[in-house]
């Protein structure tokens, strides 16, 4: 009886635990899935950090561009107002007032007026404040503002891309729970076919997630 009972118990042993390769394979798959889930979660966090940094830099670049644009507009308005007053004083023969106004101008504004005055009358622009005047500083400020705005747009596009990649990696990490679930279920069934089936689902999910991680990296 004892021998028969022992033989019967021994006969159920393989059905309960399955082949050794199945247990080892399941353990390996679950281990690799755990590592991949950790790596994708880490990369997602890093990319979210980079996206946040680039969003901050983009906002700062927009602020810089706005500040430069406002500065350029103020400079243009101030320069033109002073120049009009200067020309009126000269036309009225009020040299003292003209000199006083000239002293109120910045060095770059005076240089722009000197360049304009030195041009032949036939080729002289209607105003010193034109883009053809190399001494006029305002266009340089406008260019700086445009450059800052372009940089802001580039940083924003980069941040959006990194944020999208981070979300994709988060999805991959979440999808790996299927591999964990399927792999964990293999120990609940006596049927080798069922256990192999769940293990196959776990392996396929793991491979798909690995490919997705490489793509979204």
Q: Is the pLDDT assigned to residue 1 strictly greater than 70?
A: no
- 6: in domain: no
**149-204 pLDDT tens trace:** 888 889 899 999 999 999 999 899 888 888 888 888 887 777 788 888 888 888 89
Q: Is position 88 within any domain? A: yes
**Residue entry with tokens 């979440």:** 174
What range defines the domain where residue 158 resides? 19-216
* Residue found by looking up tokens 């004083």 in the block: 89
Spell 1-38 as b/e; 16+ CB within 10 A means b: eeeeeeeeeeeeeeeeebeeebeebbeebbebbeebbe
Residue 182 domain-assigned (yes or no): yes
pLDDT tens, 48-107? 999 999 889 898 888 888 888 888 788 778 888 888 888 888 888 888 888 888 888 888
pLDDT at 8 over 60: no
| Residue 2 in domain | no
Q: Is residue 13 part of a domain?
A: no
How many domains does the structure of the chain reveal? 1
Per-residue pLDDT at 109: 85
Q: What is the pTM of this model?
A: 0.58
Look at residue 147 and tell me if it is in a domain.
yes
Contact status, residue 166 vs residue 47, Cβ threshold 8 Å: yes
What whole-number distance in Å separates Cα of residue 196 and Cα of residue 198?
6
User: For residue 4, is it within any domain?
Assistant: no
Q: Which region among 116-120, 139-143, 194-198 has the lowest average model confidence (pLDDT)? A: 139-143
Specify if 117 maps to a domain: yes
**Averaged pLDDT for residues 131-160:** 82
């Amino acid at each position: 009886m004892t021998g028969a009972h022992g033989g019967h118990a021994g006969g159920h042993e393989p059905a309960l635990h399955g082949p050794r390769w199945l247990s080892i394979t399941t353990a390996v798959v679950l281990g690799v899935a755990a590592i991949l889930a950790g790596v994708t979660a880490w990369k997602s966090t890093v990319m979210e950090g980079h996206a946040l940094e680039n969003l901050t830099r983009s906002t700062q670049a927009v602020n810089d561009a706005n500040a430069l644009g406002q500065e350029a507009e103020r400079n243009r308005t101030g320069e033109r107002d002073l120049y009009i007053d200067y020309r009126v004083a000269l036309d009225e023969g009020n040299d003292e007032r003209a000199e006083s106004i000239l002293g109120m101008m910045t060095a770059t504004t005076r240089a722009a007026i000197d360049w304009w005055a030195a041009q032949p009358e036939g080729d002289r622009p209607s105003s010193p404040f034109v883009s053809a005047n190399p001494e006029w500083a305002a266009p340089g400020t406008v260019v700086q503002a445009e450059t800052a705005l372009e940089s802001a747009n580039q940083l924003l596009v980069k941040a959006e891309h990194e944020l999208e990649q981070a979300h994709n990696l988060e999805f991959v990490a979440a999808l790996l729970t299927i591999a964990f679930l399927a792999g964990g279920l293999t120990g609940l069934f006596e049927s080798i076919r069922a256990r192999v089936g769940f293990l196959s689902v776990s392996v396929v999910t793991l491979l798909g997630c690995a490919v997705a991680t490489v793509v979204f990296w």
